[in-house]
Structure 1
Amino acid sequence: MAVWAIGDIQGCYTSFKALLEKIAFNPKKDRLWIAGDLVNRGEDSLETLEYLYGIKENIEVVLGNHDISLIAAYYGIKKSNPTIDPILTSPNAKKLIDWLRRQKFLHVDYKMGYCMAHAGISPEFDLGMALSYAKRIEEKLQSEDAEFWLKQMFKHGSVRFDREANAIDIDRYILSAFTRMRYCYGDYRLDFDQKGAPTEVLREKGLKPWFACDNRIDIELKIIFG
């Protein structure tokens, strides 16, 4: 059995299938780890979701920011766009969205020595904290109050982890860290504006990739992220 990790398919179904063919993926015996952002930028988001749903017993999925935006669009919290319209108008929309809502934000395999999150793991979290906080927002997304909860998540972001903050702000930080995090300052504040490669200008501003953040708590597993 082979285990393959693939990130950011983003609805590029043809390229995704070509990659699976290149690695000779066999869904009957191999496993896929999908590191989030299944949909949105490519033209075949519906086909991508339907394929992954069809092999759901052989894959591990963590959610990315584009997947959360799709769920929010399904609830009418965010506007749709041409790349996800086919999903929202599909007869299988509810089935696919419900399946997405049941996916993780953090997957851990102790035997293999790996864990996976779309954006990464907050530099302030050890593995136990990361698992606990991932479970916390997974339960919110899977609950009957998911629509209300998502509305609160999209009101504004949260760049700092504060145990004394209200529950909604803590959830906002957790969701942002697992799905949107790229750079952070030395005091662990997250920055969501920078999206390119590290530069001297960013370093002079005190910004580093989250995994290079000073005093980052070490995770004893190797981290796969998108």
Structure 2
Amino acid sequence: MAVWAIGDIQGCNDSLQQLLTKINFDISKDRLWLAGDLVNRGNKSLEVLEFLYSIKGNVDIVLGNHDLTLIAAYYGIKKSNPTIEPILSSPNAPKLLKWLRGQKFLHVDYQLGYCMAHAGISPEFDLGMAIEYAKRIEERLQGEDAKSWLKAMFKHGDDRFNREASGIDIDKYIISSFTRMRYCYKDHRLDFEQKGAPTDKLRAKGLKPWFECDHRKEIELKIIFGHWSTLGFHHDENVLALDTGCLWGGKLTAARIDVDEVEIVQVECDGIMEPEV
């Protein structure tokens, strides 16, 4: 059995299929870890969801901000757009969206020594806290009041974790850190505005990638994440970043994680959008 982690697909189904062919993915025994943002902006988002649903027994998925946008559009909270409209208009939409709502915000595998969250794990959270808080928002999203709860999640939230805040404000921080985080300040405040790659200019302003944040709580597993296409592929002793900008004319990246030395396989992508900076 091989276990492959793949970065943000964002509706690029052709690239996904090419990558699965290149890694010789075997549905009879292999597993995929998907770092979120399965849909939106790419022109085959429906095909991505339908394919992943068809192999749902072989995949471990964490939700990204674009996946939440799709769920919100299904509920009428956010506007649809041309790349997710085929999903919303599909007769399979109820089945696909129910399945998507049932996915995780954090996936943990102690045997492999990895965990995975779309944007990463807040510097305020140790692994136990991250597991607890991920489960908390998973239950909210899967609950009977999911629509009203998700509507509140799209309103402005705090950039600093505060145990004394209201329950809804704590939830907003949790969901934002798991799905939108890139940079943090020395005091662990998160910055959700900067989207570019780390630079000396940003560091001079006190902004560091979240995984380099001073006094970040220790996570004993290596963290796989996506979300940050301008960061690109990054691998060190603590993290493995796999969003390599397929949608933006970059690559779609898979990392084999059940081996002693991580194996990286990529396919080139025909980007359909200009990179965001």
Fold match, TM over 0.5? yes
Distance in 1 (CA, whole Å) between partners of 2:115 and 2:79 is: 32
- Which position in structure 1 is the counterpart of 2:111? 111
Distance 1:177 1:27 in 2: 32
Determine if contact 1:4/1:31 at 8 Å carries over to the other structure. Answer: yes
- 2:31 alignment counterpart: 31
- After TM superposition, the structure 1 = structure 2 runs for residues 207-218 of structure 1, keeping only pairs within 5 Å, are 207-218=207-218
Q: Secondary structure at the match of 2:161?
A: coil
Residue in structure 2 matched with residue 57 of structure 1 by the alignment: 57
Task: Give 1 or 2: higher strand fraction.
Answer: 2
Distance 1:211 1:35 in 2: 16
Deviation by residue 1:23-68 (Cα, 9 ceiling, x = unmatched): 0001111000000000002100000000000000011000000000
Q: Distance in 2 between matches of 1:223 and 1:151?
A: 29
Q: CA contact under 8 A between 1:106 and 1:116: conserved in structure 2?
A: yes
* 1:159 to 2:159 alignment: yes
- Displacement, 1:128? 0.2
The amino acid that maps onto 2:81 is: N
Distance 1:214 1:176 in 2: 20
Letter of the 1:199 partner, please give it.
Answer: T
Aligned counterpart, 1:74: 74
State the partner residue of 1:220. Answer: 220
Paired with 2:77 and 2:84, the residues of 1 have a C-alpha distance of 14
Q: SS state of the match for residue 78, structure 2?
A: coil
Query: 2:267: which partner in 1?
Result: none
2:178 matches 1:178 = yes
- TM-score (structure 2 length as normaliser): 0.81
Deviations 1:99-153 (A, max 9, x none): 0100000000001110000000000100000000000000000001000001111
Question: Structure 2: which amino acid aligns with 1:201?
Answer: K
User: 2:55 and 2:74 mapped to 1: Cα distance?
Assistant: 23
Say which SS state the counterpart of residue 81 (structure 1) adopts. Answer: coil
Map of 1:87 onto structure 2: 87
1:18 has 2:9 as partner: no
Residue 157 of structure 1: how far off its partner (Å): 2.8
Q: What amino acid does structure 2 have at the position aligned with 1:61?
A: I
Whole-Å Cα distance in 2 between the matches of residues 204 and 70 of structure 1? Answer: 36
The amino acid of 1:68's aligned partner reads L
Amino acid at match of 1:165: A
Q: State the superposition RMSD in angstroms.
A: 0.5
Q: Distance in 2 between matches of 1:27 and 1:209?
A: 36
Residue 128 (structure 2) aligns with: 128
Judge conservation of contact 1:158–1:176 (CA < 8 Å) in 2.
no
- Segments of 5+ residues of structure 2 without an aligned counterpart are 227-277
Higher helix fraction: Structure 1 or Structure 2?
1
SS of match in other structure, 2:83: coil
- 1:185 shift after superposition: 0.5
Matching residue's letter, 1:63: L
Give, in whole Å, the separation in 2 of the partners of 1:4 and 1:196: 27
1-structure distance, mates of 2:87, 2:119: 24
1:33 counterpart SS class: strand
The 2-side partners of 1:156 and 1:69 are apart by 15
SS of the residue corresponding to residue 68 of structure 1 reads helix
Structure 1: 5+ residue runs without aligned partners? Answer: none
